[in-house]
């Protein structure tokens, strides 16, 4: 991952309001940290980067199997029983 100073587009390296978009507007900052300008190519690159980052995420933690659930229910019952005794 490259470190980009705020105020510099991480993709095209512009400093804001320097790229010309296809609609004729100058680019603006597309994120709050000012590291992504709104040039179409940069927005596309950012979308692609986000898509890849999402795909690279580790798989979600495994769902508890039915034995875990059974064990949890048992523990809950025991807790309740202990609580009842104490009260
Ligand atoms: Zn840019
Ligand atoms: Zn730009």
Ligand nearest to the CA of 46: 1
What is the pLDDT averaged over residues 59-82? 77
Q: What is the pLDDT of residue 81?
A: 67
Ligand nearest to the CA of 21: 2
Q: What is the pLDDT of residue 59?
A: 81
| Rounded Cα distance, 30 and 19, in Å | 13
Q: What is the pLDDT of residue 69?
A: 73
How far does the centroid of ligand 2 lie from the alpha carbon of residue 50, in Å? Answer: 19
Strand-pairing partners, residue 29, are 37
Those residues whose C-beta lies under 8 Å from the C-beta of residue 10, and which sit 6 or more positions away, are 2, 4, 35, 36, 42
* Structural contact between residues 16 and 5, judged by C-beta atoms closer than 8 angstroms: no
Q: What is the pLDDT of residue 67?
A: 74
Ligand nearest to the CA of 35: 1
* Structural contact between residues 30 and 38, judged by C-beta atoms closer than 8 angstroms: yes
* Structural contact between residues 12 and 40, judged by C-beta atoms closer than 8 angstroms: no
Tens of pLDDT, residue by residue over 5-63, are: 899 999 999 999 999 999 999 999 999 999 999 999 999 999 999 999 999 988 878 87
How far does the centroid of ligand 1 lie from the alpha carbon of residue 49, in Å? Answer: 14
């Amino acid at each position: 991952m490259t470190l980009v100073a705020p105020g510099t587009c991480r993709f095209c390296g512009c400093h804001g309001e320097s790229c010309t978009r296809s609609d004729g507007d100058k680019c603006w900052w597309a994120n709050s940290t000012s590291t992504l300008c709104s040039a179409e190519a940069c927005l596309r690159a950012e979308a692609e980067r986000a898509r890849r980052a999402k795909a690279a995420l580790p798989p979600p933690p495994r769902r508890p199997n039915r034995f875990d659930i059974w064990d949890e229910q048992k523990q809950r019952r025991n807790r309740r029983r202990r609580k009842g005794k104490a009260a």
